[in-house]
Amino acid sequence: MRPFEPRVVAPPPPPPPPESALQAPPSESVVQVPPELPMLVVEFCLTAAFEIAIRSTQTPTTQYYSITFHLLCLVMVFAFAFIFVAKYISSKHPNLGRVLEHAGVVCGVTAFFVAITVSFPLCLKVISRIVYALSLLAIFIFNC
């Protein structure tokens, strides 16, 4: 080698990736709920709860309410409870939190379908329940 000849020096090795990059990317089968969807369900449940509370104080007894109305209220309670619990346990139990959040969204959508169709005639109720069932089936098929 000659004294004034340039030497080729290899660049330093790149730094190791952070630990988060070493983890496997999430599976494609994991469905992410958009962050605004659970909040929309909570808003729907809260709005409906205030309306139900006001209406129940105007009606003297509960005998005037149908079983559909009571089931609607129960489904809204489930939706709100699932989303509320999921919010606070997802930091320590992410899988359970995700399942509860999905269950809350499904309960909220169910409550929406029931609330919308309360005043429908029977034929429209059947059509809307078929649309609801097909929607759930499509979600199940395309995510499994």
Q: Residue 9 corresponds to which amino acid?
A: V
The reply to whether 132 falls in a domain is yes
Show the tokens assigned to 55: 């209406």
Overall domain count for the chain: 1
The reply to whether 23 falls in a domain is no
Show the tokens assigned to 133: 């069932």
80-121 confidence digits (pLDDT tens): 899 889 989 988 999 999 999 999 989 988 988 888 888 889
The reply to whether 2 falls in a domain is no
Report yes or no on whether pTM surpasses 0.75. no
The reply to whether 20 falls in a domain is no
| Percent helix, strand and coil across the chain, each to the nearest 5 | 70, 0, 30
